[in-house]
Amino acid sequence: MPNIVEVTGLTKRYGNFAALNECQLSVPEGSVFGLLGPNGAGKTTLIRCLMGYLRPTSGIAIADGLDCQRESLLVRQRVCYLPAETKLFRMMRGRDCIDFFSAIHPRGSKALALGIADRLELDLRRRVGFMSTGMRQKLAIACVLSCQCRLMILDEPTANLDPTVRSEVLKLVREANERGTTIAFCSHVLSEIEEICDHAAILKSGQVVRSIALSEVRFVHRIQANLSDDTKLGSIPATIRTIRTISKKADRIVLEIDGPLDDHLKWLGTSGLESVQIDSIGLRSIYESVHPGVGVA
């Protein structure tokens, strides 16, 4: 599968501080790609470089076949972007905003935007200045998700929304992806990334430190158990190649296993291990191994 975004050695410095530091990133075309990392990790700087709003100190960013620095105007014509802090015209009514953004973007669709606003139960008669934060977020989502483009970048799209609306927004993202749009989805809510994304990247100190295929994460389990006199670790079948690590703490053993768990249950039943505890590792464990002590939802 070709990549619709290619970032190579991207660096953005402010004096001695590197907001991005030799960043490498590839986003497969047709995917929903998650961007993860705490505040200050470099996510927003990366997005702004992709959109051509920031000029990198060095390195190359390509989006939809365009050089994000040299062809930034074309990038903004072909890529749709929902910033984390959306600014809308406060004196406009909701319907006027949809009319404006549908007309100004080459790939905007007024009919689709109105349909999205209706699904989100948004009152378009109200002026933006009199809307709640959640209502303004719904309006921005309707304007952006209605664009029929090949690449869409969504920065915290479900912020300020209640759980029911969040679920509907994720459905809308899925539908946009099914229409052929590749989506870069930035969120602090790990459950959203696990639910909606095919791939994800974790940023730290301006670099991508982990790239993850979510299909693989869903089948990773950690097994903890007590060793006993009858434990038969030497009997691990050679065919079970998915065991990644074996580590011991006193009389406790920790195993990390890839693949469907039922493939390993027979061996566990005859291993002689005691007090067996099986946990799905999931994305949270991987994230916390990169950013220990950083709270996530």
Provide the CATH number for the domain formed by 221-280 in this structure.
3.30.70
Q: How far apart are CA 124 and CA 218, in angstroms?
A: 40
Q: What is the DSSP pairing of strand 221-226 with strand 274-280?
A: antiparallel
181 contacts: CB under 8 Å, gap ≥ 6: 148, 149, 150, 151, 152
pLDDT given for residue 275 in this prediction: 87
Averaged confidence pLDDT in the chain: 88
> Which pLDDT tens digit goes with each residue over 91-118?
999 999 999 999 998 888 999 999 999 9
pTM: 0.81
Q: How far apart are CA 196 and CA 215, in angstroms?
A: 11
Q: What is the DSSP pairing of strand 243-249 with strand 66-67?
A: unpaired
How do the domains of the chain map onto residue ranges? 3-215, 221-280
> Which pLDDT tens digit goes with each residue over 222-254?
788 888 877 777 766 666 655 555 665 567 888
Eight-class DSSP state of 93: B
Provide the CATH number for the domain formed by 3-215 in this structure.
3.40.50.300
Q: How far apart are CA 46 and CA 20, in angstroms?
A: 7
Q: How far apart are CA 228 and CA 212, in angstroms?
A: 36
> Which pLDDT tens digit goes with each residue over 15-71?
999 999 999 999 999 999 999 998 889 999 999 999 999 999 999 999 999 999 999
